[in-house]
Amino acid sequence: MADDEVEDPGVPAPVAIAPAAACCAASDAATAAACALCRKPICRNCQRFVNQKQVCIDCLRKILAEIAAEQATGARLLFAVLGGVVAAVLCGAAWTAMVVATNMEIGYAAVGVGLATGYGVLLSARRKKNFNLQVVTILCAILDLILRKYFTVAHMILTHVKDAERLSYFDARLVKIFIAMVPDLMTWFDALWAFIALRIAWRIPKPTDVRVTRARVAA
C-alpha cells in the first residue's frame, strides 16, 4: 500500500502535511498552516491572529459577526435597568430576612450582590453585553448595597428603640436617621466586600475581548 494511503484514525494529521489548497490568489504554499478553528489550510497572506490564535478570513468574519451580535442595543437597556433594579430590591429584602432571622450581618454574603445584579442585568438584556450594561450593573449593585445597610439599620431601630415599632421600614424619619449615620456605617471590612461585589458585577456583562492582528504579538 502506498504511503499516502496509510491512515491512522486515532492520530490527527500533522499540520505540516495538510493537503495543499489555495486560500487566495497569491497563496504562499511554503508558509501554509491550519486555521485554529476550522483547520483549513491558510497561507501567510491570509492568516490573521485573534487573541494570538491563527485563523482564516472566513472564521475571522464569523467571530466578528458573533461579537457584533453580542452587543446590546438601546432597546434592551431599559429591560436591563429593570432587571437590575428588581434583583437589587429582592437581594435587599433577602438580606433583611437574614438579619431578622440571625440578628447579625454576614459580610461575605455581599458577594451575592455582584452575582445577583450582574445576572439580573445580563438575563434581562438577553445575554447582550457592552460597556453601558456594565455601568447599569454597577449602579444596581450600589443600590443593593445601600438597601442592605438601610434595612439593617431600620430593623435595629424598629426592634430596639422604644415606640419605634409603630414605624414602617420606609418611614421618612428612618431615612433621615440612616443618611446621618452613613459615614459611621462603612468600615474597611464593608469596603472590601463592597469592592469584591462591584468587581464581580462589572465583569458579568463585560463584552468579549477580541484582539485581531496580522502577525503574532510577542508575549
Q: What is the DSSP string of 36-70?
A: TTT--EE-TTT-EEETTEEE-HHHHHHHHHHHHHH
The conformational region for residue 116 under phi > 0 = left, psi -120 to 50 = alpha, else beta, is alpha
Please tell me the distance from the alpha carbon of residue 198 to that of residue 123, in angstroms, as a whole number: 18
pLDDT score, position 83: 92
| Residue of 174, 159, 151, 158 whose CA lies nearest to 105 | 151
Q: How far does the chain reach from its first CA to its final CA, in angstroms?
A: 45
Q: What is the chain's Cα-based Rg?
A: 28
Q: Name the 3-class secondary structure at 129.
A: strand
The C-alpha angle with vertex 143 and arms to 162 and 209, in degrees rounded to 5, equals 155
- Positive/negative CA dihedral, 172, 177, 179, 180: positive
52-58 LR contacts (CB < 8 Å, sep 24+): 52/216, 52/217, 54/216, 56/23, 57/23
pLDDT score, position 121: 93
For residue 169, how far is the Cα from the chain centroid? 33
Tell me the whole-structure pTM to 2 decimals.
0.69
| Residue of 211, 215, 200, 54 whose CA lies nearest to 137 | 200
The segments of the chain whose pLDDT lies below 50 read: 1-20
pLDDT score, position 85: 93
pLDDT score, position 182: 83
Q: What are the boundaries of each domain within the chain?
A: 3-69, 73-203
pLDDT tens digits for range 21-54: 556 766 666 667 888 898 888 888 788 899 888 9
Query: How would DSSP label each residue in 94-121?
Result: HHHHHHHHHSS--GGGGHHHHHHHHHHH
Written as one letter, the residue type at 58 is: D
For residue 16, how far is the Cα from the chain centroid? 39
